[in-house]
Chain A
Amino acid sequence: MHLEKVVFGFFILLALTVNFGFFLGEIDNPDHHNIYELYAAIVVSLIATVLKFGERTQIGAVLLAASLVADLQLIAAAVVWAVAVHVTEVGLTPMVMASIVSLSGGALLANLVSAALLTAETVSLQR
C-alpha cells in the first residue's frame, strides 16, 4: 500500500462525492442544497487540484485539466450565490438556485471524468 496513492485517490473520490451530495435534490429548491456542502466541495476540489500538480504523464495532464474545470465551475457557483445574496440582494430565488446547482452539475461531470480516469489508470497498472 502506498500512502501517497491513498491520499490522492481519497481526495479525488471525496471531491466527487461531496459535489454529488450538493447536486442531489430538486434543482430550484434552496432547502435541498446546503451551502456548507458547496464550501466543502470547493475546498476538497482545490486540494485535489494541487495534488495533481507536477504530473508528467498524459493521464496526469488530463486529470489536472478535469480538476481545473471542476474548480472553475464550483467557484462560479459560489460567486453566483454571493452576488445573489449579498450584492444584489435578490436572494435565493428558484432561478438563482437552479443556475447554482447546474454549475455544480458541470463540476460533477468533470469530477466523474477524473474518477473514471483514475480507475482506468489503476486497472491498467495490473499490480
Chain B
Amino acid sequence: MTATVIPLVLRRMRPPLLVLISAYAIAVLGFALIPGVDEQGNPWHMGFFHAFYFVSFTGSTIGLGEIPYDFTDGQRLWAVVCVYLTVTAWLYAIGTLIGLIRDPALQTALERIRVRRSVYKLREPFHLICGYGDTGRLLVRSLTARRRRVVVLDENEDRINELNLLDLPVHVPALRMDSGVPENLLTAGLKSRWCMSLLAITDNDHVNLRTAIIGKLLNPGLTVMCRAETAEAAANMASCGTDQVINPFESFADRLQMAIVDPDMHRIYDWLSGVPNTRLPERPEPPSGTWLLCGYGRFGRAVRRTLNAAGVRVVIVQEDVDAAEPSDTFVRGRGTEASTLTEAGIESADALLAGTPDDAENLSIIMTARTMRPDIFIAARVNSMANKVLYQAAEPDLAVEPNYITTSHILSVLNTPLLGEFLEDARKNEPSWHAELAKRIRAVTGGLVPESWTIRISHNRTPALARTLELGEAVPLGCVLRDPRNRDRQLSCLPLLLARGDDRMLLPDPEMVLESGDRILFCGALPAQKGMRELLNNLNSLRYVHTGEVRPDGLLWRRLARRRERLAPAKADREQAP
C-alpha cells in the first residue's frame, strides 16, 4: 500500500520542488557572479560556498546579516530579489505539502494502510462485519464482549467515527469503504487464514448480495452470512452458496406462526436463542383469531403469508391497496385513525400488528388501538433501536426487532454451531414432544434462559475424554453429565443433539457410548457448563465420575500406586499358601 502513497506524494511535490531548486540555483549563481569588496576595499568574489550559505539562511528567513564582508549595493539589490524569490518558493512548497496531508485521497490511502496493518497483525480468528447499522452495532458489542475479534466495514463516515470512539474490550479495525468492492474486502482481510466468517448485514440487499458473491468466490471455505429483506434477494444469495441467509421479516413471520400453532416449540426457540442468564421469558401466547395488519410492505406480506398458511384470518389496513385484492380483507386507510380501525373490525378482532416501517406511526397505532380495545393483543415492529425505549413505554404484548432477530440468529450460528440443526430437526416432531422438551429444559435451567454450547470430542478440545476413549474405555454420554464434585449428582444440563458423521440424533440417550469426533449440543445452566469443561479437560475428574475411584496423581504417588499394585498379588499368594 505504501506503493500508492509515496508516488502520490512525490508526484504532487514535483512542481514545488522544481520551483525551489530553480530559485536556489538562480540566487546562488547570482551571488557567485556579482563582484563584491572585502574589508580593505579589494575586489572579491563570493564563491559558491558562501553564496549557498547566504541564500540558505535568507531563504529560510533566518537572516544572519551580510557575510563574510559587508555587501556592495549591487549585492544588496540581488539579495532583495533573492529574499522574495526563495521565501515565496518555500511557502509554495510547504503549502503544497500541507495541502497534500489534508487531501482526502491521501487520507483514504493512509487509512487503508493503517487498517491493513492492524488486520495483518491479528493473530486470532476474527469475523468480518460489513455494515455498521443497528444490527452491526449489536453484533460488534456482543462479539467483542466475548473477546471475539471483528473487523468492520461501512461506507458511512459518521458510523465509523462513532465506532472508533466506542470503548470496546478489544481493538476493532474499522474501514470507511464500500463492502461490495473486492479490493476493499481484501484490505479488510478476506483472504486471511484467521478470517472465520463474512457477515453482510448492511440494509441494502444488493450490497449484501455483492459482498456474499465476492466472499464466496475469493475465499470458498469461508462461512458467509447475509441479511436479506426480500425473497428474491434471499433466493439469489442462497444460489451463490451463502451459508446462512437471514430474512428478519420472514423469520419473525415464521416464529409468529409457530407461536400460534405450536406454542411449546416457540418457547423452545425463544429460550435457546435468547440472551443467557436472563429470566426465562413467558410471553403471552398470540391468539389464533382475526389479526389486523397495519402496514403491508415486505414485513406485512411475510406475516400475512404465514398467518394465512396457519389458517388465521387476516385483515390488512393500508393506504394504497391494489384494486385486485378482495375487499373483505383489505381496508384502505391509516391504522392511526380510529375510524379506519373500526372499519377494519377492531371490535371483533383478537390481535393487531403495527408493522409499518415508520416508528411514529406504529406507536400512534398502538395508542389508538389501546384506547379502543384495552384487551386486544398488540404486536409491534421496532424499526430503529433508538426508539426502543418508546416501545417499552407503549407496552405492546410482542415487540418485533428485525435487527435483534438478525443478530441473535448470527450469534447462535457463530457461538453454537449445532443449534440451527437441532431446531430444524426438533420442529418436525409432534407438539406433545415439544411440550415434554420444554418441561425438561425448564427443569434444568431453574427459571433462567439456558446457555447452549457445543462440544466436539478431539485431542485439542476435550483432551481428557479423547485420551480415555483412546485407551479403549467405553464412556457413555451419561458420564459427562455427572457432577465432578459428587458423581451421584447430575449436572443441570440436557444433551439436545449428537452429531456423528452425517447422522444426527435428537435428545441422545445417556447410555449411548461416545466416539471420537462426535459433536454434541447441550443446554443448561452456566455452572453445568463449567463443570462439564472440567470433566473434558481433567483426566482425574473424568476418571472419578466414570469409575468412582480417586486415583493419586503426581509422579511420586503414581509410582507408589504402581508398586502397591505389583505387591498386592504377591501378598495375596503368601496369605493363601499356609
Contacts and interface: CB of A to CB of B under 8 A. Distances in A.
A24 interface: no
B32 A53 contact: no
A47 B10 contact: no
A46 B12 CA distance: 17
A54 B14 contact: yes
Given A82-B49, A85-B49, A50 B21 contact: yes
Given A43-B25, A50-B18, A54-B14, A85 B47 contact: yes
Contact of A55 (B7, B48, B49): B7
A56 interface: yes
A92 interface: no
A46 B21 contact: yes
A53 B48 contact: no
Contacts of A51: 14, 18
B61 interface: no
A39 B48 CA distance: 8
Interface in B57-115: none
B11 A39 contact: no
A53 to B, nearest CB: 4
A51 B14 CA distance: 7
Given A35-B48, A39-B28, A54 B18 contact: no
B474 interface: no
Interface in B3-51: 3, 7-8, 10-14, 17-18, 21-22, 25, 28-29, 32, 47-50
A89 to B, nearest CB: 12
Interface string A43-86: 10011001101111000000000000000000000100110011
Contacts of A43: 21, 25
Given A39-B29, A85-B47, A86-B49, A47 B8 contact: no
B49 A53 contact: no
- Secondary structure call for the A interface: helix
B10 A78 contact: no
* Interface bin, chain B: 20 to 34
Contact of A53 (B11, B28, B29): B11
A54 B10 contact: yes
Nearest to A35: B48
A105 B25 CA distance: 22
A43 to B, nearest CB: 4
A17 B563 CA distance: 96
A85 B29 CA distance: 18
A50 B7 contact: no
Nearest to A47: B21
B47 A53 contact: no
A56 B7 contact: yes
B47 A54 contact: no
B8 A53 contact: no
Nearest to B48: A39
Contacts of B50: 86
B461 to A, nearest CB: 49
Contacts of A36: 32
A43 B11 CA distance: 19
Nearest to A79: B49
B11 A50 contact: no
Contact of B13 (A53, A82, A85, A86): A53
A81 B3 CA distance: 38
A60 to B, nearest CB: 9
Contacts of B28: 39
Contacts of A82: 48-49
A85 B47 CA distance: 10
B25 A53 contact: no
B105 to A, nearest CB: 14
B22 A39 contact: no
Contacts of A56: 3, 7
A84 B503 CA distance: 90
B21 A53 contact: no
A50 B476 CA distance: 78
Contact of A54 (B11, B21, B25, B32): B11
Nearest to A45: B21
A78 B13 CA distance: 26
Interface string B511-552: 000000000000000000000000000000000000000000
Given A39-B28, A53-B13, A47 B18 contact: yes
Of the candidates A51, A55, A82, the one having the most CB atoms from chain B within 10 angstroms of its own CB is: A82
Interface of B: 3, 7-8, 10-14, 17-18, 21-22, 25, 28-29, 32, 47-50
Given A35-B48, A53-B17, A86-B47, 15 more contacts: A35-B47, A39-B28, A39-B29, A39-B48, A43-B25, A50-B14, A50-B21, A53-B7, A53-B10, A53-B13, A54-B7, A54-B14, A56-B3, A82-B49, A85-B47
Interface of A: 35-36, 39, 43, 46-47, 50-51, 53-56, 78, 81-82, 85-86
In the complex, the 9 A-B pairs of residues with the closest C-beta atoms, listed nearest first? A54-B11, A53-B10, A54-B10, A43-B25, A82-B49, A50-B17, A54-B7, A46-B21, A86-B49
